[in-house]
A = this chain, B = another copy of it.
């Protein structure tokens, strides 16, 4: 990387300035942000950097296009006036409990305030979390109102806050090596700079929607309803009926809205990990293989087909998922709107109790999605009644009958 955009000399990140010292070392589990140190991923002043990777995740590529076309001045710093969080979140003890949060910067929404002196001095420190407010207008909620499942109160039904994060941290040598190799040599510092301990990878982020009075997060007696949802564009946006993603998400939102009305809190965590973090191309290839296999789409071979195409049944790494809940200071989820054993086990394994699990109501399962649900129940997903062997005979529509 280059020390200035005007020079022609290119310096590879794997071979930094000799004698260069990191001005702000990162002490990850420090009890306060200033002791932890700012996360500096600037691309204009390499000497300031104390992480691998850059701001904006995948969007760094679009930033590059904007710079290349002359639309964006590469040395420009963001004007953060008025962008501070719309509600107060934290600090919570989890933010500095050793090893608790590894995949996001718990102070990522507060950097403009905490490090204002350093920013004024010229250090390029940027927020990695943003918190705003929104009003949600979901046509499905009108159905819920019409059916009497929800009652409007002109207040709590769609109160929410949001945040997005794009961070990720790790220390394992083998993990660094695999990240380097599986991305075809992306970020050589992963292997040449063991002194850099934080990695900002170009992946999709996380959005959290909060329903109800956010200040109740700090009260351990607050009852919490929560859905942790992994992106599925085909269902979430377009309503494809091959899976339960949008119906279950909407059910989670409805449960969260009801919780808010009762003075409790609702939390929806939305992670950008399309197709079990295998991506949509792989997902669609698997759909074709499922529909065309001998005997047709069947619950009994549901996971096998994914593994044939992708080599793995699931790459979502739920072990990192609890970080968003740790960040919110959550120690207990009273109603967990998910049947996933992996999500359940990851949360419980990291000290977040789950009191009750809420399965998707049968009537919300779309016509072609019974294969998925039967297969998941047989594989260990939560179900109030033990799955029956004949459930695995559930079959789906052939590819021609779309």
Contact = CB atoms under 8 A, between A and B. Distances in A.
A117 interface: no
B64 A182 contact: yes
B241 A86 contact: no
Given A56-B282, A281-B130, A137 B366 contact: yes
A183 B238 contact: no
Contact of A311 (B78, B174, B274): B78
Nearest to A162: B284
A106 interface: no
Interface stretch (A18-26, A69-77, A259-267): A69-77
Contacts of A180: 1, 10, 64
A30 interface: no
A191 interface: yes
A393 interface: no
A37 to B, nearest CB: 18
Interface stretch (A94-102, A198-206, A215-223, A321-329): A198-206
A179 interface: yes
A149 to B, nearest CB: 15
Interface string A148-187: 0000000000011011111000001011011111111111
A203 B205 contact: no
Interface residues of A, number: 134
Contact of A61 (B131, B137, B183, B310): B183
A132 B287 contact: yes
A218 to B, nearest CB: 21
Contacts of A83: 285-286, 288-289, 309
B402 A183 contact: no
Interface in A272-291: 273-274, 277-289, 291
A231 to B, nearest CB: 8
Nearest to A166: B281
Interface string A188-214: 110110000000011111010100000
Contacts of A14: 12, 14, 185, 188
A59 B287 CA distance: 18
Contacts of A395: none
Contact of A80 (B74, B202, B309): B309
24 contacts: A1-B181, A10-B180, A13-B188, A58-B203, A60-B184, A64-B178, A67-B178, A73-B311, A78-B308, A78-B309, A80-B309, A82-B289, A83-B286, A84-B288, A85-B288, A130-B282, A130-B285, A132-B287, A134-B234, A135-B402, A136-B240, A159-B402, A186-B186, A202-B203
Interface of A: 1-2, 5, 10, 12-14, 41, 43, 49, 52-54, 56-69, 71-74, 76, 78-86, 127-140, 143, 159-160, 162-166, 172, 174-175, 177-189, 191-192, 201-205, 207, 209, 233-234, 236-242, 246, 249, 253, 270, 273-274, 277-289, 291-293, 308-312, 315-317, 366-368, 397, 399-400, 402
